[in-house]
Amino acid sequence: MPYWKTHFRIKRSRFNWVTWSNDMTRAPQDNQLEVCESEHLQRDDTVHTALQRQLTPLLTVYRIIPQRAIRMIGPWCFLDHFGPVAPANYRQFNVAPHPHIGLQTITWLLSGQLLHQDSLGYEQPLRSGQLNLMTAGRGISHAEVADHDPDQPLHGLQLWCALPPEYEQTEPRFDHYQQVPKFSLGDCTATLIVGTYVATQGGHQKRLTSPALSFSPATALLLQTPQATAIELALEREFEYGLYVVSGTMTALSKKVRTHELLSIGANRTRLTAELSADCTVLLLGGEAFEQPVKIWWNFVSASEQRVRQAQQDWDNHHERFGRVANYRAAK
């Protein structure tokens, strides 16, 4: 029997709640080995449409990367956009413990409430504007559930950052950040989730740095504006970049990019002018090209296919490397 048939399960009640032991936005069709690699400084301006997946009747997920046409942006090997889901429909949201290796997971909520639990003993609520960052390293397991009685729609982004080969076996850890840098970029509010950004403020340049732990040169910057505006973004020449439109419409490099679309702009740029519609939210992702392809299978990421396969065997055999999420309570 295929692995997912024994490990992926959906239960429904009058709340249409869901329990599954895959990662928060991974579906049964993700049960295949994928090879992801950077564009290696390719300069382009291509629009990619996210792949829509109906994880449950009430939870829609938009997979931006990886997909056939674009596998990675720098070290970023995974980006999903989930929701929004009304509070009544995720009050018993329950993602059972599942494993990871070789990556960092970044969970960012635009609205809603979740609770992180892991095999290191952490139990951390997450709200909009806060950052949960888990470094899997050689192995960790965690669960995600609805926290208390949510009163906002569940809407957010989940990103994976591949660890460089020399850090794949690092000790697992979990970090929570109550806040990350925010600043004005024209009429936009810019939130620096990961990495650094050189902002011009009062005619002077200032390098801002997120406190988020990072193992590779990379940036994740969220842009939000209530009104139509034009902005100029400062870019690192060595970084590959992509801009994902969470909501609204963006025009850049003569391309119109709509909600659930990503504009890949490659590297070798230091500036980019973008026009944003009213009520627009855009995620800028960038990073140095990853030196070698990574393999992704289920929730495992590694430059070594053997490590991926070994992790799968270890999880099936309840190996101690993944620990136990002691505080997790299965949904009834």
Identify the pLDDT of residue 53. 86
Task: For residue 191, tell me if it sits in a domain.
Answer: yes
Mean pLDDT of 52-74: 88
- Residues 160-169, buried b or exposed e (16+ Cβ, 10 A)? bbbbbbeebe
Number of domains in the chain: 1
Average pLDDT score over residue span 155-168: 96
- For residue 251, the enclosing domain spans 43-322
What's the rounded mean pLDDT across residues 63-83?
A: 94
- Give the residue numbers of the binding site: 98, 100, 142, 144
Binding-site positions for Fe cation? 98, 100, 142, 144
Contact by Cβ (8 Å): 157, 283: yes
Assess whether pLDDT exceeds 90 at residue 284: yes
For residue 134, what is the domain's CATH number?
2.60.120.10
Q: Let me know if residue 17 belongs to a domain.
A: no
pLDDT tens for each residue of 106-128: 999 999 999 999 999 999 999 99
Interatomic CA distance for residues 316 and 39, integer angstroms: 34
**Is 28 inside any structural domain?**
no
